[in-house]
Amino acid sequence: MEEPKYRIRALHTDRTVTVYQAYRPAIGRPAARDGRFPAEWKRDRMTWIKPSFLWMMYRCGWGTKEGQETVLAVEITREGFEWALRNACLSHYERGFHPDQAAWKRELRQAPARVQWDPERDAHLRPLPYRSLQLGLSGEASRRYADEWTVSVTDVTALAHEVHGLVRSGDLEAAARLLPRETPYPEPEGLLDHLRVQPPATPKLKSPVPSTP
C-alpha cells in the first residue's frame, strides 16, 4: 500500500505520543535526569518537536552537531499533542490553500503552534517521497509542552550512535530492529484538515454533445 504524502507516524500508546529533540548536554542531561525541562530551558522561545526518529537523526547528524549532542525522546500526552495541532497553522503560505498571504500572516501571528511537512528520511538519511511532521511550539503551547504535557524524558543519544554505527557498517537489518516502532497516528477526524495540503482536484472533462444529424 502506498504511503500517503501527509501522515503522522509516531511511537504512541493509547495515552501518549513520543517526539524527539536534541540539545546541548547542559539542557538535555538535566531534562533526562529529572524527567522535565530545567528552568534554563526557555519557555518563551519556539521549540520544534519531531515524531520521526530518523528525521531527528537527519536534523542533529546522529547527535554529532554542535549544540545537539544530547538526543531526547519526550513522551507527551496525546491530549496536548492534538491541542497543539488543532491550534497550529502551516509555517509557509500555500497558494490556493490560504485565502491570501495577508490572511496566512495573521494566522501565523496568532497561532501558538506551526507545522512543517518535510521529506521523511531512510536509514541513510536520504529523502523519501512522503512527508514527516515537524511541530513548532511557541508561547502558550511551549509552556504547556514543558510544564503540562511532558510525561517522561529519556536520553536516547546512545541509541542514536548505535543505530548510526550499524548503518555505517552496512547492517541495515540490525539497525532497523533498534529503531522506534513508528506507526500511523490514530488522528481524530478533521484533526489535520487545516494543515494537510491536498492537490487540486482534476476537473472532469465533459462528454462531447453528440451532433444533430
Q: Is the pLDDT of residue 212 over 80?
A: no
Give me the percent of the chain exceeding a pLDDT of 90: 75
Measured CA angle at 59 (ends 16, 30), to 5 deg: 60
Q: How confident is the model at residue 213 (pLDDT cuts 50, 70, 90)?
A: very low
Specify whether the CB–CB gap between 28 and 64 falls below 8 A.
no
More confident residue, 72 or 90: 72
Residue 183: its pLDDT value, please?
Answer: 97
The mean pLDDT value for 197-204 works out to 54
Average pLDDT, the chain: 90
The mean pLDDT value for 165-187 works out to 97
Residue 203: its pLDDT value, please?
Answer: 47
Residue 201: its pLDDT value, please?
Answer: 44
Per-residue pLDDT of 103-151, as tens digits, reads 788 887 888 999 999 999 999 999 999 999 999 999 999 999 999 999 9
Per-residue pLDDT of 7-62, as tens digits, reads 999 999 999 999 999 999 999 999 999 999 998 998 888 999 999 999 999 999 99
